[in-house]
Structure 1
Amino acid sequence: MKMLKVEQVAKELQLSVRTVRRLIEEGVIPVHRIGRSVRVSEDDLKRYIASCRQV
């Protein structure tokens, strides 16, 4: 499982790091906390992106 840093998630979503951190704090994007580090799994990021889709 590949884990992404907050900065990498922001780049992937084309959002600011601040916005991604807010989404994490609100519990919208699930994270793994390893010590003081925060990581987002690629699978969780894909699920988040899929949940944002509107038809």
Structure 2
Amino acid sequence: MFATMRNIIVNLPDSLEVYSGHNYGHVPHEPLGIQKKTNPYLAAADFDKFERELKNL
């Protein structure tokens, strides 16, 4: 999952609309550019940080 996020998803255009598959209590969709800034999993620069974020679920 980390490799997919770091190698594929972060390279997609910021204008791409993301529709969450889960109900996290926020709007049902928003641009990927916002997700890149606010989603801790997309923002994790390395696997260790990504893993720590997953453990905080």
- Which TM class, normalised by the smaller chain length? under 0.3
Whichever of the two has the greater Rg, that structure is 2
TM-score (norm 2): 0.26
Higher relative contact order (CA 8 A, sep 6+): 1
* TM-score normalized with structure 1 length: 0.27
Higher percent of residues as strand: 1
